[in-house]
Structure formats: C-alpha cells, structure tokens
A and B are shown apart, each in its own frame.
Chain A
Amino acid sequence: MLLESLEVHQFRNLSGKVFWHSNLNIIYGDNGQGKTNWLEAIYLLATSKSFRTSRPQETIRFGANLAFVRGRVRQSEAVSRDLQVTLQGNSKLLFVNGKKEQTSAYLGQLQVIAFTADELEVVRGAPEARRRFLDRGVLALHHAYIQTLADYNQVLRQKNRLLQEVAEGRLAVERARELLLPWNEQLAELGTEIHCARIDYVKRLNAVFEKKLFGREEVTIRYLSSLEGKGDLSDYRLLLTERLNLRLPAEIAAGCALVGPHRDDLEILFDGRDIRAYGSAGQQRSALILLDLAALSVYHSWCGEYPLFLIDDIDAELDRKRIGHLLEYLEGRTQTFITTSKADLIRGYSSDQQVALYEVKEGLIVPSSSEGVRAASQMEGVFRSLS
C-alpha cells in the first residue's frame, strides 16, 4: 500500500496538501514547526487515533470547529481510495471515497507502524506497553482479535468487581466462589485464545528478527507467560484453569484478578541482559526499531505488502551509521516517513532518486528537493489518469 497524497485542514497547526514519494520521505525543519504533526496526521488517517493524545478532538486547531485529514491510498495497481477522518466537536467521522463508513469497515485500509517517543515505553516501560505492542501486531493480521481482547477485558472487569465486593465484606466468600465460576470459565477460554495468538505472533517475529542489524550486540525476544514455571504450558487452557482454581484464595485476599495473560510480558534481552534495566537509551531505541522492522516483515509475509513506517525524530538517539543501516534495509520495502531537525542528515540524500525532502515551517510543508517536486508532479499525473 502506498500513501500518494495527504490533505490536511485545521489539524493542529497544519493546512495544505502534499504528494509523497513511494520510498523515503524526509520531513525536516526546526523544532516546534510541526514536523511531528505531519506524522500524526498520517497516523490519524490510518488508525483514526493520535499517537500523542487519547482525545483526538484536542488536535482541532484552536478556534476552529472541525479538522480533517484526507489521503489517497493506492491499494494495488488499479485501485486507489480516498480515506478521510473528520474531527468535529466530540465526534469523529470516517469516510472512504466520500462515503461515511463504520470504524470496523474503515480500519485496516491503511496500515502503519510508528516509531515515536511514546512508543519507547515498549523497551523501557511497564509490561503493559509490550503487551499492547504484541496485541497491535496480532490485530493487524486478525481483525476479529479485537473482540477477543474486548471480551477478555470485560470479563476481567466483572471478575474484579466481585473480588472487590468480597474484600469490602459485601459478599460472602462461599457465594463469591459460585459467582466467580462463570467469569473464570470465560477467562480461561478467552485467555487461552490471547495466549496462543501472542505466542504465535512472537514466533513469527522471531523468524524474521534481525538480531544484529545495528552492530555486534544481539537482541533477543521471548514471550514470558506469567504461568511459566507453574506447570505444563503446552496445555495452556488446562494449566490456566488449574491456576485460576488454585489462586482463588490469593485473588480474594488481593481483591483483584492475579491469574491470566493480562500479567504476561515480552522479554527483550540485549546480549542476554534485560534491555529495560541495563540498556542505554541508544540500545533501547535500536531494539525498538528491530521490533518494528520485525513487525513490518511479519505483516508483509502475511498480507503480501508492507505497512507504512513512520519514524519520529530519527536522529535523537540513532547515530549516522545506524540510520544508514536502517534506511538501506527499508529501501524497496516500506514507504517510509521520517522527521529530523538535523540539516546534515538531509545533505547526504539531496541528490538521491529514492528520496523526497520536505521542509516544514510553521505547519506549512514544502517539497525542497528537485526529487520531491518531481515525485509530486508524477503523482499528479497518476491522479489525472485515474480520475
């Protein structure tokens, strides 16, 4: 898939339309000019969400009553679609070719993987961020997984409420055992689905993982079930059911659910040591890029195409050599969008055919290399021949 163009209206400080290069797009400019906003706009178009705020309405320009991002996505040789996300007041409207669509019908037409400051939680934050990384990956391959996740979380909420009532003395322990049963049965069923989906996904990641792309240090990953060492993981459903029964007194004492895949983690090791505790900021960023590259590959081997890859502030922790390795690896694979404030990074690419450069000043984006302009006019030609 290819994002051919993007039109932005009153989204943060942005406005205007830009045509993108099919390989590498470098968006540069001084800090605070709106480079990241352009990535955020692409991310919004793909996911209908922002990677910076859980309230996309905050992204409507101050004083305006609506904002939209509209993009033309090439799905195949002959098929292009116009996607649009409109934010108005507290509502979000999604359009495909000008027709309003349900979220479920809209999502999945444009896949992105974003490397951003928030995303660094995966390599240095709590296990929750790593579980989210895995679940996002599974979701890109199996849309129905969203229902499994939603149901699992709903069951957890119901179970936690019962456990809380026992803790507060409003429910007798014996009665609670009886009432917890239907929720634990569902937890075992849904938990097994989630466990198996994540195990399978990590297996796929491992099969394509470029352990040493950035140097001699080896990055390894492994799914870390919270039931590891507690019995036979090969029959997870049986083990989970056993643990749910066995740990019930502990759960009642704690007043919350202690057993299930919501306690699992993804172990990320850097030369055998936990990246979270022992990795430098640079090593952590490298490891996250490796994870993202693996996710790109897994998606490609499943769907036959690459998602877009967005890299915010590429030079913050990666040195020139690593950036070079990375971009070389990506060439011919993904349509990549990177932001940088370092002018010397751009200089190396100014004559390259495979790159378009864009300068951002106060939200406005201007193709600044002859290649960028050429890409834009070629795309314009494609548009004309299609419309």
Chain B
Amino acid sequence: MLEYAEPVTKLIDEFKRLPGIGSKSAQRLAFHIMRLPEADVERLIDALQEVKRKIRLCSECNNLTDVDPCRFCSSPTRDRSIICVVEEPYNLVAIEKTRSYRGLYHVLHGSLSPVRGIGPEMLRLDNLLARLKPENNQGVKVKEVILATNPTTEGEATAIYLSHLLKPLGVRTTRIAMGMPVGSDLEYVDEVTMDKALANRHEI
C-alpha cells in the first residue's frame, strides 16, 4: 500500500526526478505545494509552462532565449567581430556580470568527454563555423574567438579541439587565462577573477 494518497505520491515522485532533490526534499516540497493557495499554484504552473513554451535556443549562438535571435545577437551595440565560446548558458552569465565584455557569445551546451560519451558531434559547433563567414554575420568579419570553456580537463580538451578547428580558418583564437582556481567551474568564479581571466587571455 502507498504511504500517501496517489496524487501526493505522484507529486513526490515528480520532484524526486529533479536534480539535487532527494526523498526528504521532495516530500517537503510536495507538502509545501499542498498548503499553498490555489492562485500561487496556478502561477507556478504558468511559469513552468511558459518557460517550456517560450524558451528555445538562439539559432545563432545557442543561448537560451525567448526571441530569436537572442538579445545579444540582435543588439546593435555589441561587437560582432569577437565571439566568446562557453560551455553552458550560466557560464555566459558569469562573463556578462563583469560588464567588460562587449562581444557576442557561443554556447556549446557541453564539453568533450569520451567517458561520458560526449564527442564533438554532440556539441553545438556547426553554427559556430557558419558564423565565421561575414555573410552570416551581418557582413562583419569575426576577428577573434575567445575559448572560455571551464578550466577542467574536459573544458581544456574542448578548447584545444576547437583551436585546431579554427586556426586553419585564419581566425585569431585565444584561451582565457587560468589564473582562477583550477578544476573549478566558471559558474563559481567571482567577477573580479573572471575579469582578469578575460583580460589576460592568450593565443592558443
């Protein structure tokens, strides 16, 4: 027999599927939901559905966006001649917080890891190569690609792989400086460190 009524069990099970949520947290969340006024629950449902309905990947840079192209790619004030490559959308946020980077981005949605079964074909690389042609970039020639993948062995492998791909195309390729805690994720790097890492980037 189930410990809770069926709808409650169903909700707890759904919460348990989420990353970082164990049995206890799932239970706590479910009971919180049950105590909420109906209007609050409606708002939560709306938010969930809206994010699913409206958020997609930018066709140019693969960032999460509700308009295509995204705010960065369509902004007239961003420098289109420079592209910063990151692993995940939250890495982009870390760089954006420095307020010193004015170029465009490219989100790979992952990094190379044979152990986890992730090869180059699973990263979003095709539209990066396409963007290097001026005709696909509002007539602007890309002068530099900054590889800002994480300072982990996977991030480094991804950067090296990309540099071998980009160099023959004649575009300047740089790697952000590793003056940050090694093995850490860009997500946790503070703005000052990130700013320095960007400023001290080197040819790869």
Contact = CB atoms under 8 A, between A and B. Distances in A.
A144 B181 CA distance: 10
Contacts of A182: 112, 156-161, 164
B183 interface: yes
A154 B156 CA distance: 12
A155 B164 CA distance: 18
B114 A161 contact: yes
B101 to A, nearest CB: 25
A185 interface: yes
A165 interface: yes
A158 B153 contact: yes
A151 B157 contact: no
B183 A179 contact: no
B160 A155 contact: no
Contacts, number: 44
B39 interface: no
A19 B154 CA distance: 49
A159 B154 CA distance: 11
B22 to A, nearest CB: 14
A53 interface: no
B115 interface: yes
Nearest to B164: A181
Given A147-B183, A151-B183, A186-B156, A181 B114 contact: no
B69 interface: no
B179 interface: no
A239 to B, nearest CB: 20
A150 interface: yes
A186 B112 CA distance: 13
Interface string A146-165: 01001100110111011001
B114 A186 contact: no
A156 to B, nearest CB: 10
A197 to B, nearest CB: 15
Of B114, B154, B182, most A-chain CB atoms within 10 Å: B114
A303 B14 CA distance: 55
A179 B154 CA distance: 12
Interface string B143-186: 00000000001101111110010000000000000000011000
Contact of A186 (B113, B115, B160): B160
B119 interface: yes
A181 B162 CA distance: 11
Contacts of A186: 153, 156-157, 160
A158 B183 contact: no
Nearest to A150: B183
A75 B190 CA distance: 33
Interface string B116-154: 000110000000000000000000000000000000011
Interface residues of B, number: 17
Contact of B115 (A147, A151, A161): A161
A153 B51 CA distance: 40
Interface string B28-65: 00000000000000000000000000000000000000
A115 interface: no
Nearest to A144: B182
Given A155-B153, A186-B153, A181 B160 contact: yes
Nearest to B117: A161
Contacts of A179: 112, 114, 119-120, 161
A147 B160 contact: no
Contacts of A154: 153
A162 B164 contact: no
A183 interface: yes
Contacts of B159: 182
Contacts of A157: 115
Interface in B81-131: 112-115, 119-120
* Residue among B115, B157, B161, B164 facing the most chain A CB atoms (10 A cut-off): B157
Contact of A162 (B114, B153, B158): B114
Contacts of A147: 182-183
Interface string A166-191: 00000000000001011101100000
Nearest to B163: A182
A163 to B, nearest CB: 9
B114 A165 contact: yes
A155 B113 CA distance: 10
Contacts of B154: 158
Nearest to A155: B153
B113 A158 contact: yes
A183 B157 CA distance: 6
Given A151-B183, A186-B153, A158 B115 contact: yes
Nearest to A154: B153
Contacts of A158: 113-115, 153-154, 157
- Leading 7 A-B pairs by shortest Cβ distance: A182-B157, A182-B160, A161-B114, A154-B153, A182-B161, A162-B114, A158-B114
8 contacts: A150-B183, A151-B182, A158-B113, A165-B114, A179-B112, A183-B157, A186-B153, A186-B156
Given A144-B182, A158-B157, A179-B119, 12 more contacts: A147-B182, A147-B183, A159-B114, A165-B114, A179-B112, A179-B114, A181-B160, A182-B159, A182-B160, A182-B161, A185-B160, A186-B156
Interface of A: 144, 147, 150-151, 154-155, 157-159, 161-162, 165, 179, 181-183, 185-186
